[in-house]
Amino acid sequence: MFSQVENLPAFAGLKADGAAFAARHIGPTPDEQAAMLHTVGASSLDELTDQTLPAAIRVGRPLGLGDGWTETEVLDRLRELAGQNQVLTSLIGQGYYGTVLPAVIQRNILENPAWYTAYTPYQPEISQGRLEALLNFQTMIIELTGLDIANASLLDEATAAAEAMALAKRVAKSASNTFFVDADCHPQTIAVLKTRAEPMGFAIQVGNPATDMNAADVFGALFQYPGSSGQIIDPRALVDALHAAGGIAVMAADPLALTLLAAPGELGADIAIGSTQRFGIPMGFGGPHAAYMAVRDAYKRSMPGRLVGVSVDSEGRPAYRLALQTREQHIRREKATSNICTAQVLLAVIAGMYAVYHGPEGLKAIGRRVHGLATTLAAGLRELGVTVQTTAFFDTITVDAGDAAPALLARACDMGMNLRNAGAGRIGISLDETSTIKTVLDVWNVFCTDRDRVGHMALKLGQAASTVPEALVRQSAFMQQAVFGSCRSETDMLRYLRRLSDKDLALDRSMIPLGSCTMKLNATVEMLPITWSGFCDLHPFAPADQAQGYQTLFKDLESWLCAISGYDAVSFQPNSGAQGEYAGLLAIRAYHQARGQGERNVCLIPASAHGTNPASAQMAGMKVVVVKCDAGGNIDLEDMQAKVTAHAADLSAVMITYPSTHGVFEENMRAICDMVHAAGGQVYVDGANMNAQVGLARPADYGGDVSHFNLHKTFCIPHGGGGPGMGPIGVRAHLAPFLPGNPADPAVGMAVSAAQFGSASILPISWAYIRLMGDAGLKRATQVAILNANYIVSRLSEAYPVLYRGAKGRVAHECILDLRPIKDSAGVTVDDMAKRLVDYGFHAPTVSFPVAGTFMIEPTESEGKAELDRFCNAMLAIREEVRAVEKGDVAVEQSVLRHAPHTGAAVTAEPWEHPYSRQQACFPPGVNPATKYWPNVARIDNVYGDRNLVCSCPDIAEWME
């Protein structure tokens, strides 16, 4: 019977096939694509492609990735790979610890698209939920560290230390160029500091602060608290000495330890940094996790990273938004406080919620329990005759095992535990929230095979005294703000999370047409594996043979990215696009140096470049020279030639975004690359716009030497409200020897982040996307992304001039609408337009980048025709609202545009004092009252917020006032 069915030819058609996923990932159906092609005036996707991409850069053959797999096949294979990773109990420590992610947070944040598909909160009126969550995070950090102000996350602890070093240099009165680093800092932190220091011209002195540091000779110093070995030092005398010499004291502090230890701010530190990984975030073989930075008030304007502040809206209610943005790369470019764009928002939200869930008492209880187990562990080991070197500690001890170390490490491994090989016969053991009495017994058994003796010792459990030095016991209370006592029951927590996410507009509600950000579908099937234990519970420094599944996944992904881009090798170390830029420029720098051309230090960057480009070049020790753009938005070839010639002797690199940030495939890309190569320079192609190229063109083919890939744009890692991201770089073979090395290896040449494979645990997302789409699906996605953008151009260009187009009148995957004419004719600002779109239920496009007074729109391939039409109809309806102002029917100050967005309170206010109707305010044409998105706050006053800077939650006393 069955065999008969199988033989029916029709049955083959019922089999799930690879094209099924691509058809769901790509928004417009084939029929819709046909209708849209008709609108844009192209006969087929291929014809549109030919009109859009210069023939000279086209890749004429399939990439060789094969057919797309089904969702089931992909999950099966990923399950297999996860199974090839061995999850042992990790007692390695060194900055990464076991932790318990509360299930209510896992499901309702980490696995909830309302949180993970949101964008960076540049439009604060539709971002109040995640901004509040980030304010909780900042408040938690301020409270634990005892400092005045904290940012909303950095990429990891090692880069946070490097940012702190750069900040220290900016604000220190000392004229020294040397930064002192406690030898008891985590090795990966030291590796990243050394890498960062070199191009900036800083010297790093690593040593024992008590004996080796001369405060007068350094501009600052970093102390780990507790140290990497577990040892706690009292830094007060060192901090005083630094201050007396005009230097800056930085402490890398473990937030869980701070529940029991005196806060860095109380010890005099100027800056505290660290990782919040152990606040509920899985180790993930290295990430992603949120690092933090807190500083004294005096240094807030020099602080790197995003900062959430409280302001007021136009109706006088408190409202959150990003503060002090004038420090950041998108405004200050090479003079910015850092190159950070994508950070770790989703992880910061999780860590902050972990603190909300546990409250101060809960956190302290976890800290006490871990410390109690650690003291017991140490006391028992001493009784067994083991040399415990650490005297004052929180959760980590180091023992001197001498020649027995290798055998002991192996025996621990056999028993299912990884201990830290700290070198020279020393073994590190770190306990954490997941540790139990059994963990302690197991470790004793590693060192003593006599089970009876060990069992006997267990009777003394809990008898060991705390080893925290009296003078360093935390006396101050922390996290007394109402929010940290508000959610003790799971019901409360669930509803709080829901309340916050309901305030925000993410991809689960509407398209987010942000140009340059590629807000495409993050398919659920791609997301499933990231919380599987086989991917998320590995320590980044676990022995390599325990991570075979990951190794295979990295190899696959590397080979696919090489096929897609034409490059020869990939490094997965960078945790964001900007960090990829930095890593790529360092590779270029090292390449020139290796050829005896270290004097090459000029980086040419077109005026239209993303702010991260000049900021990264500056960090890489390069001198930024800006190249003009012509009236058509293209790189001014003459100016480029002139600058290449002028700098022939010292040209290091050019950074070019392709297709350009103007949304156009420039015709002369190859010519520019040839020109640069002829002058001995290297070409950095900013790969943020890969979504316009995959399957159609390859950066290495047309002249790129290195590119980063924003996996959180083109390759489906969700934006998480502003991170995590991944920015691996691809390089041609000649740069491969200069890629970052393993940060945990003392012999490492260069390290740009703490873990060798960056945020490894989110790589399965991109792996799944590429495997699901296959050659044909990826190419089709690119073609439809281009179709969607050109469709928007066709529908909107009469109402709003399209600023730049390619040679044949086409745009690439995004387009810039010029709003300056309506500013002139009606006084309507880009802000008015952006906020009015909220009333129509949309997130605004990218505002005023790369050209002030414009919208940049990127629909991506994932949006179907109906949603594109809904957006275009809203834009057209708003144009009519502008027309009423142009005609003089209504003054712009009184217009529906200027008062947008309209809250529920605003549209029900009595008396009604506007020249437009309530209906017009909240239910304009195309808005369905049944599904309307209601903004939570009215337009937010940014200037007020920056003048009256408040960056933490109110405490209970203020709350009650």
Ligand X SMILES: *Cc1c(COP(=O)(O)O)cnc(C)c1O
Positions touching ligand X (CB under 6 A) are 341-342, 516, 576-578, 610, 612, 657, 661, 686, 688, 710, 725, 727
- Give me the least distance between CB of 572 and ligand X, in Å please: 14
Q: 26: which strand partners?
A: none
- Give me the least distance between CB of 727 and ligand X, in Å please: 5
Residue 729: phi, psi to the nearest 5? -115, 140
By beta-carbon proximity to ligand X, the closer residue of 139 and 518 is 518
Any idea what DSSP says for residue 465?
P
- Give me the least distance between CB of 48 and ligand X, in Å please: 23
* CA atoms of 21 and 778, how far apart (whole Å): 11
Do 308 and 320 form a contact (C-beta atoms < 8 A)? Answer: yes
Do 359 and 485 form a contact (C-beta atoms < 8 A)? Answer: yes
Cβ atoms within 10 Å of 486's Cβ, excluding its own: 12
Q: Which of 952, 133, 101 is nearest to 496 (CA)?
A: 133
Q: Which residues contact 124 (CB under 8 A, 6 or more apart)?
A: 131, 319, 320, 321, 322, 937, 940
Do 882 and 826 form a contact (C-beta atoms < 8 A)? Answer: yes
By beta-carbon proximity to ligand X, the closer residue of 282 and 727 is 727
- Give me the least distance between CB of 322 and ligand X, in Å please: 14
- Give me the least distance between CB of 528 and ligand X, in Å please: 24
By beta-carbon proximity to ligand X, the closer residue of 119 and 357 is 119
**Strand order across the beta sheet in which 854-857 lies:** 815-818, 854-857, 846-847
By beta-carbon proximity to ligand X, the closer residue of 224 and 575 is 575
Q: At what angle do helices 490-502 and 345-383 cross, to 10 degrees?
A: 150
Alpha helix stretches (DSSP H) within 482-523: 490-502
Q: What one-character-per-residue DSSP string does 659-725 give? A: S-TTS---TTHHHHHHHHHHTT-EEEEEGGGGGGTTTTB-HHHHT-SEEE--TTTTT----TTT---
- The separation between the first and the last C-alpha atoms of the chain, rounded to the nearest angstrom, is 79
Q: At what angle do helices 187-200 and 157-171 cross, to 10 degrees?
A: 40
By beta-carbon proximity to ligand X, the closer residue of 231 and 657 is 657
By beta-carbon proximity to ligand X, the closer residue of 165 and 692 is 692
By beta-carbon proximity to ligand X, the closer residue of 258 and 690 is 690
- Give me the least distance between CB of 151 and ligand X, in Å please: 15
Q: Which residues contact 42 (CB under 8 A, 6 or more apart)?
A: 48, 51, 790
By beta-carbon proximity to ligand X, the closer residue of 355 and 506 is 506
By beta-carbon proximity to ligand X, the closer residue of 725 and 806 is 725
SS3 (DSSP) at 212: helix
Any idea what DSSP says for residue 148?
S
Do 163 and 192 form a contact (C-beta atoms < 8 A)? Answer: no
- Give me the least distance between CB of 842 and ligand X, in Å please: 20
Buried b (16+ CB within 10 A) or exposed e, 798-835: ebbebbbbbeeebbbbbbbbbbeebbeebbbbbbbbbb
Residue 634: phi, psi to the nearest 5? -85, 160
By beta-carbon proximity to ligand X, the closer residue of 661 and 790 is 661
- Give me the least distance between CB of 854 and ligand X, in Å please: 15
- Give me the least distance between CB of 657 and ligand X, in Å please: 5
- Give me the least distance between CB of 517 and ligand X, in Å please: 6
Residue nearest to ligand X (CB): 577
Buried b (16+ CB within 10 A) or exposed e, 288-326: bbbbbbbbbeebbeebbbbbbbbbbbbeeeebbbbbbee
CA 83 to chain CA centroid, nearest Å: 27
SS3 (DSSP) at 767: helix
- Give me the least distance between CB of 304 and ligand X, in Å please: 13
By beta-carbon proximity to ligand X, the closer residue of 226 and 725 is 725
Any idea what DSSP says for residue 473?
B
CA 268 to chain CA centroid, nearest Å: 30
623-627 vs 602-606, strand pairing mode: parallel
- Give me the least distance between CB of 601 and ligand X, in Å please: 21
Do 154 and 140 form a contact (C-beta atoms < 8 A)? Answer: no
Q: Which residues contact 742 (CB under 8 A, 6 or more apart)?
A: 748, 751, 756
- Give me the least distance between CB of 813 and ligand X, in Å please: 12
* CA atoms of 126 and 504, how far apart (whole Å): 5
- Give me the least distance between CB of 360 and ligand X, in Å please: 34
Q: Which residues contact 202 (CB under 8 A, 6 or more apart)?
A: 165, 169, 177, 178, 179
- Give me the least distance between CB of 706 and ligand X, in Å please: 14
By beta-carbon proximity to ligand X, the closer residue of 354 and 582 is 582
Q: 854: which strand partners?
A: 818
* CA atoms of 534 and 284, how far apart (whole Å): 9
- Give me the least distance between CB of 850 and ligand X, in Å please: 9
By beta-carbon proximity to ligand X, the closer residue of 90 and 657 is 657
Any idea what DSSP says for residue 772?
H
By beta-carbon proximity to ligand X, the closer residue of 258 and 615 is 615
By beta-carbon proximity to ligand X, the closer residue of 429 and 512 is 512
By beta-carbon proximity to ligand X, the closer residue of 158 and 937 is 158
Q: Note the residue count of the chain.
A: 961
By beta-carbon proximity to ligand X, the closer residue of 123 and 516 is 516
Cis before 911 (ω within 30): yes
178-182 vs 220-225, strand pairing mode: parallel
- Give me the least distance between CB of 691 and ligand X, in Å please: 10
By beta-carbon proximity to ligand X, the closer residue of 85 and 660 is 660
- Give me the least distance between CB of 495 and ligand X, in Å please: 32
